[in-house]
Structure 1
Amino acid sequence: MNENKVLCRVDDVPDGGAVAVDVASSTGGFSVMVLRQGERVYAYHNECPHAGRRLDWSPGKFLIKDGVIICAAHGATFDVPTGACLGGPCRSGLAGVPVSIVDGNVVEP
Structure 2
Amino acid sequence: MKLCHRRDLPDGAARGFDPEGRGQDTVFIVRQGDRLYAYADACPHHGTPMAWRKDHYLNAARDRIVCAAHGALFDITTGRCTLGPCLGDCLTNLPLTLQANGDIHLAEAPHKETQQ
SS at the partner of 2:48? coil
Alignment: residue pair count: 103
TM-score, L = length of structure 1: 0.84
User: Higher strand fraction: Structure 1 or Structure 2?
Assistant: 1
Q: What code does the residue aligned with 1:80 have? A: I
1:1-109 equivalence runs, <5 A: 5-24=1-20, 31-64=26-59, 65-91=61-87, 92-102=89-99, 103-109=101-107
Higher relative contact order (CA 8 A, sep 6+): 1
Identity %: 39
Shift of 1:66: 4.5
Q: Cα RMSD over matched residues?
A: 1.8
Checking the alignment, whether the CA contact within 8 Å between 1:45 and 1:95 is kept in structure 2 is: yes
Q: Distance in 1 between the 2:94 and 2:57 partners?
A: 17
Q: Distance in 2 between the 1:73 and 1:13 partners?
A: 24
Q: Which runs of 5+ in 1 are unaligned?
A: none
